[in-house]
Structures are given as C-alpha cells and as structure tokens.
Amino acid sequence: SRRLGAADGGGECKVLKPCVVLYVCPYVNRNSKEDLFWFLPGEQLLCEASTVLKYVQEDSCQHGVYGRLVCTDFKIAFLGDDESALDNDETQFKNKVIGENDITLHCVDQIYGVFDEKKKTLFGQLKKYPEKLIIHCKDLRVFQFCLRYTKEEEVKRIVSGIIHHTQAPKLLKRLFLFSYATAAQNNTVTDPKNHTVMFDTLKDWCWELERTKGNMKYKAVSVNEGYKVCERLPAYFVVPTPLPEENVQRFQGHGIPIWCWSCHNGSALLKMSALPKEQDDGILQIQKSFLDGIYKTIHRPPYEIVKTEDLSSNFLSLQEIQTAYSKFKQLFLIDNSTEFWDTDIKWFSLLESSSWLDIIRRCLKKAIEITECMEAQNMNVLLLEENASDLCCLISSLVQLMMDPHCRTRIGFQSLIQKEWVMGGHCFLDRCNHLRQNDKEEVPVFLLFLDCVWQLVHQHPPAFEFTETYLTVLSDSLYIPIFSTFFFNSPHQKDTNMGREGQDTQSKPLNLLTVWDWSVQFEPKAQTLLKNPLYVEKPKLDKGQRKGMRFKHQRQLSLPLTQSKSSPKRGFFREETDHLIKNLLGKRISKLINSSDELQDNFREFYDSWHSKSTDYHGLLLPHIEGPELKVWAQRYLRWIPEAQILGGGQVATLSKLLEMMEEVQSLQEKIDERHHSQQAPQAEAPCLLRNSARLSSLFPFALLQRHSSKPVLPTSGWKALGDEDDLAKREDEFVDLGDV
C-alpha cells in the first residue's frame, strides 16, 4: 500500500484526479502532518466529513471519539483525532488491508439514521438528513456516528455518498477489484509458500485423480477449453471414463455426471445439473433417452451401484437458508449494552426460532448419510441440483472433509474450496450480492459451509491443521475486493473480465491476488494464529511398511453394516432410471427416495458405531449432530460484543494451558535428544500471542477486553430468583476478580 499525506508546507493541497463517480471530492486539503490516510493502489477519495463523533458501542452513556469520516471507492473509514487512542499496540492481530475502523463498501449490510431519537432505514435520495448514522456490517460489526456537530453541507455529502456507494446497483467492471488490479499490476507478488491447487489446469485435475486413486475409473477432459461448450463449467473437469466427450456437448454440460472425489474403496462422489425444463413431448423424449444412456454408463450392477441424492427438492431450499440467517444475524447486531441485556433474557428462544443451528444439523446429517453410503455400502453417490453450484458445493465439500484427512490440512482445505466452490461455479458475486442488483439472490451458502466446518473443528480440534481464527478471517475475506476468489460467478466470468479470453492481444491480462496469499493481510506473527499448534501430521510410512498394508482408513468399523443389495433385477433398474430422469427433468415426486426406514437404520448404526470408538484424527471423522453438541460460532458472531467476552476464559485459556504442557514436553524431548546426540526434528512453534492468557478475552484475537462495559440493567420481572440488581452486579464483579487471579 502507499501512504498519501500532508505536504510539509502549511496550506498546500494535494490535487487528486477528477472522478466521474458521484460525490467525489475534487481535492483534499492537508494542513497537518497528523492528518494522514492510507490508500491502496487505485483507491480514490470520494467524500468526507469532519467533527464526527464515533460512539463507543458498549457505552450506554454515548461517549466516543471525535474525528473524520471518510468514504473512498474501497471503504468507509473513521480517522480519530486522537490517533494514540485508536492505534493500540496491544492489538497484535492486525489486518494490513482493513483497519479496526474501516468498513469495505461490500461489507455494509444496512444503514440506519436516527431522527428525533427514532431509528429509520436509509436508502435512495433523502429529503432530511439524520443526526446519527448507524452502519450494520456483514461481519456483524456495528458503527454509530453522531453528526450533530458536523457542518450541514458535509453531512449531506457524506451520508448521500455512503448510501449511494454501498446500496446503488453496480456494474461488474466498476468494482474496486479492477481498479486495484490495474494500479497494482506491476507490484502483485504471489506468496511462494502458497501451494494451494487452483484447478485451473488439466494437470491439477490429473494430480487430484492420482491422489485419490480415481484415475482407474475417471478421466480429466479438456472439451470445455476456452469455454466452447458451457460457460457455467470450468475449462477442465473430470467425468467417468466410459462417457463419450460428445455427450458433454449435447446439452451444454447439463445432465453430465461430474466427478468430485473418490474413496479408498473405489466408490465416488459425483454431481449433476438438471436438464432445462421443456414442454415439448418430443424434446422430453430425447432428454429421457439421453439420461437413460448416461445412467447406464455410471450404474452397472453389481460392479457400479449409484445412489441419487436430489438436493433441489428433497433437501434445504435457498429461501430457508436466507430466512434463517436473516433472523440469526439480528441476535448479534447490537447497538449498545442496554440492548444486549434487554434481549439476553430471551436469547435461547430467539436462537431456536431462527432455525440456523437446525439447518447446520441437517447439512451435517446429509453429509453423514452420504458418507455411510460410500464408506459402508461401497456405493457411488450422485448429487442432483438445478445448477449443481450451491448445495452440491456445500454437501460434497463436507463429505470430503469428513472422509479425506488431506482436506483437513490448510493447503488441502484451500484446494477443496478452489475445486468445489470456485471452479465448481458457485455464484459468489450473486450469493454475496456484491453488485447490489438483486437482494433475493443473496444467500449465505458459503458462510453456512464455514459454520458447518467450524462445528467439526470445535468438536475435533486435533484433526485440523487450521484454527477457528482461520475460518473467521476467511469469512471476513468474502467482502475484501482485492482478491478475485470470491468476486465472480464462474471461472469463465473471471477469465473474460480479466482479459484472458479477449481478442485484444496487446493488452496484458490483469493478474489478481487470491485470498490464499495470507501475507497480504497478516504479518508472519499474526499468521501463527491461523495454524493449529495441536495438529499432528500423519506419520509417513517407509516402503517396507506400505507393502503389508491395504489402502484403507486406519479405523474401520468393527461390525459389518447391512450388506449392499445384490444385483437388482431389470424392473428395479428401470424404476431407478425413471426416478433419475424425473429428478433431472424437474418433475416433482411424492416422497424422498432416500428417506426409507432402512436408510435411517443404516445411518443410525453407522453413526453410533463410529462414535462408540476412539477417534482416529487421520481417518474417517464424523461430527456429533445432537442438539446440545451444535453450538454458536462465538468467535465470529460475538467477537464485537464486549458483554459476551470472558476475561481469561473460554477456549483461549484451555489452549494456553495445553501449549504450556507442549512446551514442557518439548523441553524434556530436547534433553533426551541431547543425551542421545541426535538432531532434534523441527517442532511447531506455539503462538507467542497466547503467552499471557489471563489478560486475554475468550474471543481473542479479535477482542482483548481492554474496555470496561457498564453493568447490566436487567428487567425485574422474571429475574426475582436471582436477587436484586445490586446483588447480581456484585456477583458479576466477584467472577471477574476470580478470572484475574
């Protein structure tokens, strides 16, 4: 980044290039050396207002800090007059791109104005301007700015500018992503330590096939190179070996089984998008005949048996996900401490009514059901969805995370997201509503996936190389428009707009950063918090050991489950084929194909048998899905609420104690190695940021609990059993004192 600041001479001004966007400040007057502002390459100042009071969120007395409110084409930023109060050296986990008081334009969720102490949603052109501005962010931060002491003209300019640049529909080419890419074209350096497989070459897919031993039955194809067949599919993907490549071209990639992953026992996970709905009987007959041939290719009993999972009609709807999250996020968008304590008494009922945790449970349960089919019954599973780009991405990723320990490493997890989400055609641009063109298309499917992953990480920490902090910053990165990873609907859209598919050979294609270059956002010291110090890599076997072992998960089920059915008769095969065709042609069916009592019995036996044994963190991994086992991802959702923090408590305290034990064991190991004159193997370093855990918040590293929240003001009705408010406050102080000890 570059720093633009004041000229040394008093009264001099820095003239910026004029901009065609509305609400642009044509020049910026800099009168003091302290009045400095960081700009990214290509970032332009749009408008600003001085003498703005930023309220401290947890302070019910409405205290705050005076400063300047600035809006650029990248972010909204508050620049406090007292820089020492804002730039705290103790905040060791800093993002180099987004500061504590910065909000990217894509991260703004809702904007409210306060008129005569009444809170109203702001949109469009305003006739009257508010005395107070409240911004709710998609990362669940809440900012409140008092505009009473700001000049009227500046209030109009800053409020109108913020509303326009965060809510007005945008064109793709007008995203800051392109301004940054153009300005930083010669300065973009990729991280040499980033070995994430991007799956943008045929070689990457062949490598994945070889890694999963899927190259015996499946092949990587380049029939869509240059996106000649389908703009929805990636340039390269994998299909069953017997499938003729001309079949891929017939319906532009629809109705084609696309390979996701292969299990150690030879079973595979596939996905398929539905054929377009047609009313003409002739075309319907052609489609039915086509699907019949496809199904015979992949379903060849007794050698290959396919189980279909229709996610479009027999599972969650996108509307359910959208509605549930809309209710769920309101629990954490708290304006002040009084509002927090007012809603605290009905927390559990509000949480339950949102249904968010229930949706997480249903996703994990579906992934376990598919895992049971592949692991225990040796069946291929075919996921069906209209475009195979939402729930297919979610479920296929969860299945691989549970079955493949490679996906639980950081590189493996990043490669999984590249393969199933980015190359899988998940519409990040629409689902995150980056262009503000259609609110109905905004559905947090990827965030739901990360929440499901967090449940696994929370329940089985040693199985993952990454931490919950890694997942949290990854969710934040959805709204940072300098990375290309989450800002396109498909690889074709990205390549076209980056100039890679254009006809102009003289213009150099833009080279964008990926979110996997973590050095762009964090210093090496902060990056240590993204790696789990409790994770132990799977030991590598020498050649002699490998010969005597079969390639299986280390932990197998002790009791055999229901044997897979014998080769079905012709009539049953015909019925299964018809069912697949009905699903792909968009026909409704009366009941679930996979909701039989037999399936539920198999699932329960598989689930209970696995959890009755000790866990092999390098083998099959299943989550607990009972109600109490699914929890709120506190670090992400509660990190900005001081009242929800525990001083010296939570998981950070437990982790700190474990690290102390690890250091002691490592010290003893060093002494043993010295005695045997052996060279010590490099050990994973414990994050030094966790040394003084007694003063850290339970929501570390995003909150250090340096501010003191006011005592709760609780309603008297319903709390009589707890005693009066003074007793409760004293009791709270006692707990805090214990935590300090």
**CA-to-CA distance for 729 and 719, rounded, in angstroms?**
13
Same domain, 163 and 238: no
Task: Give the Å distances, CA to CA, from 75 to 103, 184, 514.
Answer: 5, 17, 19
Q: Which two tokens stand for residue 506?
A: 């003289």
Same domain, 450 and 337: yes
Domain boundary among 151, 168, 185: 168
**CA-to-CA distance for 534 and 651, rounded, in angstroms?**
13
Using an 8 Å Cβ cutoff, are 243 and 250 in contact?
no
Task: Give the Å distances, CA to CA, from 214 to 263, 296, 462, 666.
Answer: 8, 19, 28, 40
* pLDDT of the residue at 186: 63
**CA-to-CA distance for 178 and 41, rounded, in angstroms?**
11
More confident residue, 1 or 279: 279
* pLDDT of the residue at 2: 30
Residue with tokens 């060279």: 679
Task: Give the domain CATH number at 100.
Answer: 2.30.29.30
Among 718, 710, 510, 701, smallest CA distance to 56 is for: 710
**Residue 356 domain-assigned?**
yes
Q: Is the pLDDT of residue 72 over 50?
A: yes
**Would the CA dihedral through 469, 475, 476, 481 be positive or negative?**
positive
Helix, strand, or coil here: 306?
strand
- Determine the average pLDDT of the residues in 677-681: 53
Same domain, 109 and 216: no
Same domain, 291 and 373: yes
DSSP string, 501-522: S-S-SSSPPP--B-TT-GGGT-
Among 318, 453, 324, smallest CA distance to 391 is for: 318
**CA-to-CA distance for 228 and 558, rounded, in angstroms?**
50
Q: Is the pLDDT of residue 256 over 70?
A: yes
Domain boundary among 120, 148, 168: 168
Residue 310: strand pairing partners = 384
Q: Is the pLDDT of residue 706 over 90?
A: no
- Determine the average pLDDT of the residues in 708-732: 43
* pLDDT of the residue at 729: 44
- Determine the average pLDDT of the residues in 319-335: 96
**Residue 268 domain-assigned?**
yes
**CA-to-CA distance for 250 and 245, rounded, in angstroms?**
9
Using an 8 Å Cβ cutoff, are 710 and 341 in contact?
no
Same domain, 308 and 440: yes
More confident residue, 61 or 555: 61
More confident residue, 501 or 207: 207
Using an 8 Å Cβ cutoff, are 601 and 326 in contact?
no
Task: Give the Å distances, CA to CA, from 616 to 409, 557, 609, 622.
Answer: 15, 12, 14, 11
* pLDDT of the residue at 685: 54
Helix, strand, or coil here: 301?
coil
Same domain, 208 and 161: no
Count of domains observed in the chain: 2
Among 350, 383, 310, smallest CA distance to 588 is for: 310
Confidence of residue 50 (pLDDT cuts 50, 70, 90): very high
Q: List, for residues 591-643, the tens digit of each pLDDT value.
A: 333 444 566 788 999 999 999 999 999 999 999 999 889 999 999 999 999 88
Among 514, 515, 416, 492, smallest CA distance to 236 is for: 492
Same domain, 122 and 210: no
**Residue 640 domain-assigned?**
no
Q: Is the pLDDT of residue 36 over 70?
A: no
Same domain, 248 and 396: yes
Domain boundary among 146, 168, 190: 168
* pLDDT of the residue at 656: 76
Contacts 24+ apart (CB under 8 A), 551-554: 551/213, 551/264, 552/264, 552/265, 553/264, 553/375, 553/403, 553/616, 553/619, 553/620, 554/616, 554/618, 554/619
**CA-to-CA distance for 492 and 233, rounded, in angstroms?**
8
% of the chain residues with pLDDT over 90: 58
Beta-strand ranges (E) seen in 27-166 are 27-29, 37-39, 45-55, 64-72, 75-80, 102-104, 108-115, 118-121, 132-137, 142-146
DSSP string, 307-320: EEEETTTSS--HHH
Same domain, 211 and 117: no
**CA-to-CA distance for 687 and 660, rounded, in angstroms?**
11
* pLDDT of the residue at 337: 84
More confident residue, 133 or 5: 133
**CA-to-CA distance for 446 and 448, rounded, in angstroms?**
5
**Residue 101 domain-assigned?**
yes
Same domain, 290 and 438: yes
DSSP string, 333-361: --SSHHHHHHHHTTHHHHHHHH-HHHHHH
**Residue 397 domain-assigned?**
yes
* pLDDT of the residue at 536: 84
More confident residue, 89 or 57: 57
Q: Is the pLDDT of residue 717 over 50?
A: no
79 — phi, psi (to 5°)? -110, 105
**Residue 630 domain-assigned?**
no
**Residue 651 domain-assigned?**
no
Using an 8 Å Cβ cutoff, are 50 and 150 in contact?
yes
More confident residue, 460 or 86: 460
* pLDDT of the residue at 468: 96
Q: Is the pLDDT of residue 504 over 70?
A: no
DSSP string, 555-587: S--SS--SPPPPPPPHHHHHHHHHHHHHHHTT-
Q: List, for residues 366-413, the tens digit of each pLDDT value.
A: 999 999 999 999 999 999 999 999 999 999 999 999 999 999 999 999
Q: List, for residues 112-153, the tens digit of each pLDDT value.
A: 999 999 999 999 999 999 999 999 999 999 999 999 999 999
Confidence of residue 61 (pLDDT cuts 50, 70, 90): low
Using an 8 Å Cβ cutoff, are 252 and 246 in contact?
no
More confident residue, 338 or 578: 338
- Determine the average pLDDT of the residues in 174-181: 95
Same domain, 249 and 350: yes
Residue with tokens 């969710």: 475
| Peptide bond just before 302 cis, omega within 30 deg | yes
**Which structural domain range is residue 109 located in?**
45-168
Average predicted confidence (pLDDT) for the chain: 81
Q: Is the pLDDT of residue 85 over 50?
A: no
Same domain, 161 and 211: no
- Determine the average pLDDT of the residues in 660-668: 83
Q: Is the pLDDT of residue 159 over 90?
A: yes
Q: List, for residues 290-318, the tens digit of each pLDDT value.
A: 999 999 888 888 888 999 999 998 899 99
Q: List, for residues 509-526, the tens digit of each pLDDT value.
A: 888 899 999 999 999 999
- Determine the average pLDDT of the residues in 482-510: 82
**Residue 24 domain-assigned?**
no
Q: Which two tokens stand for residue 320?
A: 């359910």
- Determine the average pLDDT of the residues in 84-107: 78
Helix, strand, or coil here: 467?
coil
% of the chain residues with pLDDT over 70: 75
